[in-house]
Amino acid sequence: MLLDARLSAALSLIRAETHADIGSDHAHLPIRLIQTGRVKQCVVVELNTGPLAHAQQNVARAGLSGQINVRHGNGFAPLQAGEVQSASLCGMGANTILKVLSAAYLPPVLVLQPNDSARALRVWAQQNGFHVQQELLATGYWTYAVLRLERRAGPDPAYSGLPLGAALRYGPHLLREASALLRGQIEKDIERLTPLAAPRRPAQAELQDALAALAATALIQG
Ligand X SMILES: C[S@@+](CC[C@H](N)C(=O)[O-])C[C@H]1O[C@@H](n2cnc3c(N)ncnc32)[C@H](O)[C@@H]1O
Which residues lie near ligand X (CB under 6 A)?
Answer: 7, 22-25, 45-48, 51, 74-75, 90-92, 96, 100
Q: How far is the CB of 97 from ligand X (least distance, A)?
A: 9
Q: How far is the CB of 120 from ligand X (least distance, A)?
A: 16
Q: How far is the CB of 145 from ligand X (least distance, A)?
A: 14
| CB-nearer residue toward ligand X: 52 or 210 | 52
Angle among Cα 48, 51, 52 to the nearest 5 degrees reads 75
| CB-nearer residue toward ligand X: 104 or 180 | 104
Q: How far is the CB of 45 from ligand X (least distance, A)?
A: 5
Helix axes 202-221, 180-193, angle to 10 degrees: 150
| CB-nearer residue toward ligand X: 104 or 153 | 104
| CB-nearer residue toward ligand X: 87 or 214 | 87
For residues 174 and 178, give the distance between their C-alpha atoms in angstroms, rounded to a whole number: 6
Torsion of CA 162, 166, 170, 176, to 10 degrees: -20
| CB-nearer residue toward ligand X: 71 or 176 | 71
For the sheet with 68-72, list strands across it: 68-72, 39-46, 16-22, 86-92, 109-114, 143-151, 130-139
The bridge status of strand 39-46 relative to strand 68-72 is: parallel
| CB-nearer residue toward ligand X: 92 or 178 | 92
* Backbone φ, ψ for residue 190 (5° rounding): -65, -40
Alpha carbon distances (Å) from 38 to 42, 74, 217: 10, 25, 33
Residue 118 per-residue DSSP state: S
Torsion of CA 190, 196, 202, 206, to 10 degrees: 0
Q: How far is the CB of 88 from ligand X (least distance, A)?
A: 8
Q: How far is the CB of 102 from ligand X (least distance, A)?
A: 10
